[in-house]
Structure 1
Amino acid sequence: GQRIMIVTGYGSTETAPFAATTTWEVQRPGEIGLPAAGLSFKLVPNGQKLELRLKGPSITPGYWRMPEQSAAAFDEEGYYRIGDALKFVDDTDVSKGLLFDGRVSEDFKLSTGTWVNFAKMRGGLVHACAPLVRDAVLTGLDRNYIGALLILDLDAAARVAGKPGAREAELAHDPQVRAQLTDRLRDFATQATGSSNRVVRAMILDSPPDIDKGEITDKGSINQRAVLLARQAMVERIYTDPLQPDVIDCRAPA
């Protein structure tokens, strides 16, 4: 008998349904091969990744009766923003195909396959922690639950701590600040309806986002991906068991 060749297909509902495939035996996980006939791929720099955009006759023209979502799904050249990143198997030989390189959109999936609506979740979390928190970075991609890195509002946190002019390094460990945030996070957790909108653990950033590391964009907003990259050690602490002393358990005591 002959060995059965297993190939890879890549795509989404919007690409009807596959947009790339291998025609050779794959050598590693994540290989997606080359674009299907008639499709055009565009790789656009997005942070440290290359964002994939697609165009061709098999790509959906938009979403039924959802004009705003349809407009946002395509770029100025009519390429569909699928939200994934790709990289070349071999930078010197594009015929060897492409590798899946994760998501570039802010929404993400937990390890259970549950989608997390980033914008809605972040907005709810910041509102629940106001005025102590001015922004938050969510963690949880391919993890069992959502975590959060909290960015303090220094003026509000300093008032709670009774320490005018204090900086992140001091306020992140202040008992009064941590106690108030713990109460707010636990109240927020009681409103959750499932793993897609429940923050289980959180940490407070003990240093401000660094523009030189790309954690702040040119427009002054927080670059979520860059913060996660620069604070990998903190992310790992969130998911370390047993619970670490500087990690806040957002669940109400049993």
Structure 2
Amino acid sequence: MFQNALEWIVGHGNDLLWSYVLIYVLLGLGVWFTIRTKFVQFRLFGEMFRLITEKKDEKDGISPFQAFTISAASRVGTGNVTGVALAIGIGGPGAVFWMWVVAVVGMATAFIESTLAQVYKVQDGDTFRGGPAYYMEKALGLRGLGIVFAILLTLCFGFIFNAVQANTIKESFSSVFSIPDWAVGLVLIVLAATVIFGGVKRIASVTQFLVPIMAVLYLAVTAFVLVVNIGEVPAMIKLIFQEAFGLREAAGGA
């Protein structure tokens, strides 16, 4: 009975947040930040590449490129494969258009979040600590909310997201190579622990090496699929725009 009640609360809470609250709040804030920053995602696009390649003394922390690779490592993965497939499955080809829209306005939101993290960061020895929990406390004066956010973020990224990623890797190796689940899990634990317990500099060093390889392979596969099916690309783009404007498509993309 308790489990059924818990499932009902989680299910209805999830539907309420993602169907009626978060979609409109996130899109609305993205549009607001885009206007207030004078379309920063387009205006400073070239500046982004200049800053990424900027050199920095290793004693001062990680380089801009390493910061970029850490960020990219947390974004390119399961969501880009299964997430997109799920969105198209729910909303049809038109959902792709809304993913484009969310990505564009989301750049402004990400810029504001990152800027606030820089403004309200604190020094911790030779490095710095910052993020939403810090500007909740320092900018909004809501230390309690910052603590709750930090706890939930730890649970989310420490357990839930990692479980999803690990399960995806396990399923791939089990189905293709028939490797036992426990063996895949053990290898993942050892590899992850080796990187994480080395601190942020080791994480940066690993992502600096792996992310460019991952990104190149990802783009190469995408380019290969487009080239092989080049004759279908115009029809695909037309279909995306034709089926973009509807509640089902917008919900799927969001």
- TM-score, normalization: structure 1? 0.22
- TM-score, normalization: structure 2? 0.22
Comparing both structures, which one devotes a greater share of its residues to helix?
Answer: 2
Comparing both structures, which one devotes a greater share of its residues to strand?
Answer: 1
| Highest RCO, 1 vs 2 (Cα 8 Å, sep ≥ 6) | 2
